[in-house]
Chains A and B, each alone.
Chain A
Amino acid sequence: ETGVTQSPTHLIKTRGQQVTLRCSSQSGHNTVSWYQQALGQGPQFIFQYYREEENGRGNFPPRFSGLQFPNYSSELNVNALELDDSALYLCASSPGLAGSLSYEQYFGPGTRLTVT
């Protein structure tokens, strides 16, 4: 267990709806990253938050947004859900500074989102 928790575990939404996923980082970790993993693919980077600021973003549209709170927990919000948004959403926290060579990221259990 990494100490990273995510909620909910599973979620079913309808196309066009909005969803909020939550993540609590491991104690002492101040950086949180979100990834999307489609079936049979590797995780794809959505964005990263460091000290409550977005610190990098992957190739995802603006309807994917996020927040980080003072306790370093984080939310991922997705608006106007599309069928292709069905995936495992992973949160990862890191004890290191972005840019350091040993920038390990530890994943939570994930949220399985199904859009119908």
Chain B
Amino acid sequence: QKEVEQNSGPLSVPEGAIASLNCTYSDRGSQSFFWYRQYSGKSPELIMFIYSNGDKEDGRFTAQLNKASQYVSLLIRDSQPSDSATYLCAVLNQAGTALIFGKGTTLSVSS
């Protein structure tokens, strides 16, 4: 069973700080990785995806991928209370048809 692991949290950071969310995956053949944000009672919203080793930046968000360590992370700079949500890490299966999700990390940003 291919797995995606995330710390459930909650991760608590003050407003303006950097939040660091981490994810590990078991399938070494995985190629594409996605971060979704899910507010309570809502559906997941795509933040960004990455498939090359290194960093990818989009506004206040930076995704980092290390395939050798089977590790992907999401950094949120200048965290805002509106960033408080559950962050889901997802890995595309090798067939390229399905996303395999972790259970999510709950982030709480205090003002």
Give the number of residues in B that approach A within 8 Å (Cβ atoms).
26
Which of B4, B34, B43, B97 is the one whose CB lies under 8 Å from A56?
B97
Which of A55, A90, A99, A100 is the one whose CB lies under 8 Å from B43?
A90
B103 interfacial contact with A, CB 8 Å: yes
**Known A48-B98, A100-B96, A103-B32; contact A110-B43, beta-carbon cutoff 8 A:** yes
Q: Is the CB of A104 within 8 A of B49?
A: yes
**Number of CB contacts from chain A to chain B under 8 A:** 68
**What residues on B are CB-neighbors of A33 within 8 Å?**
97-99
Cα–Cα distance between A69 and B98 once the two chains are bound (Å): 20
Q: Is the CB of B96 within 8 A of A103?
A: yes
Q: Is the CB of A99 within 8 A of B51?
A: no
Give A44-85 interface residues, CB cut-off 8 Å to B. 44-45, 48, 55-56, 58
Q: Is the CB of A104 within 8 A of B97?
A: no
Give the number of residues in A that approach B within 8 Å (Cβ atoms).
29
**Least Cβ–Cβ distance between A102 and chain B, in angstroms:** 6
The residues of B with any CB-CB pair to A shorter than 8 Å are 4, 31-32, 34, 36, 42-46, 49, 51, 88, 90, 92-93, 95-104
**The 7 A-B residue pairs with the shortest CB-CB distance in the complex, in nearest-first order:** A42-B101, A56-B97, A99-B96, A45-B98, A107-B43, A101-B51, A110-B43
